[in-house]
């Protein structure tokens, strides 16, 4: 497994059902962003805790994840995956960035939780790993990515999984709902957890 030398620091997240969790975020996101721009690489968005993750975690924990196979796309620091693992789910946390997976593994080790991690690109053609609950937090920030997320959500629904999507109001939400097409309805509702705000939808299949 590839290791990434990361300047990460612990950050406690309060207000979650089940109590506080610690994630490991980039010490200096500004420098990491500048470096990514300089190299023409992908921005290290996965190295930051975004408002949506605690909100999605709270909604998912309401849906009794214990004993279920949870798949997280674009896990970033892994907060939703950690919360699900603590609640007794079997969790696969995925992201396109190794940085995010390393941060997630570090947080899981810190908490003594079992969280599997894997590189997974929402936008490519690799089949979606099997899951009973698909969780997605703050991945609708570009129309093309949001459209790819909708394709993954449709695939999960077709296999009988539940899908929970959180979004703080990004530019790609309309593309996401449009790309769900006739498969599902995303009825986003506001959620507040520990001072973090986002809209969260539990997708409902159109019958």
Ligand X SMILES: C[S@@+](CC[C@H](N)C(=O)[O-])C[C@H]1O[C@@H](n2cnc3c(N)ncnc32)[C@H](O)[C@@H]1O
The DSSP call for residue 186 is -
Widest CA span of the chain, in angstroms? 49
In the bound complex, what is the minimum distance in angstroms from residue 107's beta carbon to ligand X?
12
| C-alpha angle 72-54-26 in degrees, rounded to nearest 5 | 80
Nearer to ligand X, 18 or 67 (CB): 18
User: Is the separation of the CB atoms in 76 and 50 below 8 Å?
Assistant: yes
**Residue ranges that bind ligand X, judged by CB under 6 A:** 45-46, 49-50, 52-53, 73-77, 95-97, 100, 121-123, 137-139, 145
Alpha helical stretches, state H, the chain = 29-39, 52-61, 79-86, 98-111, 143-158, 173-180
Q: How far apart are CA 189 and CA 116, in angstroms?
A: 30
Minimum CB distance to ligand X smaller for 5 or for 182 = 5
Distance in angstroms (rounded) separating the CA atoms of residues 42 and 5: 17
CB of residue 10 to ligand X, shortest distance in Å: 15
CB of 21 to ligand X, least distance (A): 12
| Closer residue to ligand X in complex, CB, 29/205 | 29
CB of 173 to ligand X, least distance (A): 13
CB nearer to ligand X: give 61 or 73: 73
């Amino acid at each position: 497994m590839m290791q990434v030398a990361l300047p990460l620091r612990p950050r406690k997240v309060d207000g979650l059902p089940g109590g506080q969790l610690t994630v490991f975020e980039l010490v200096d996101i500004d420098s990491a962003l500048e470096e990514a721009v300089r190299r023409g690489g992908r921005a290290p968005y996965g190295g930051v805790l975004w408002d949506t993750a605690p909100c999605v975690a709270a909604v998912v924990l309401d849906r009794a994840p214990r004993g279920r196979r949870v798949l997280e796309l674009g896990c970033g620091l892994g907060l939703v995956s950690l919360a699900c693992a603590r609640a007794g789910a079997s969790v696969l946390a995925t992201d396109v960035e190794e940085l995010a997976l390393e941060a997630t593994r570090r947080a899981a080790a810190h908490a003594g939780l079992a969280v599997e991690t894997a590189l997974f690109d929402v936008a490519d053609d690799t089949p979606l790993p099997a899951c009973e609950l698909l969780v997605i937090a703050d991945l609708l920030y570009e129309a093309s990515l949001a459209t790819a997320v909708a394709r993954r959500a449709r695939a999960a629904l077709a296999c009988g999984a539940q899908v929970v999507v959180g979004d703080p109001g990004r530019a790609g939400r309309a593309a996401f709902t449009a790309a769900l097409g006739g498969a599902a309805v995303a009825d986003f509702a506001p959620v507040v957890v520990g001072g973090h705000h986002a809209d969260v939808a539990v997708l409902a299949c159109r019958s």
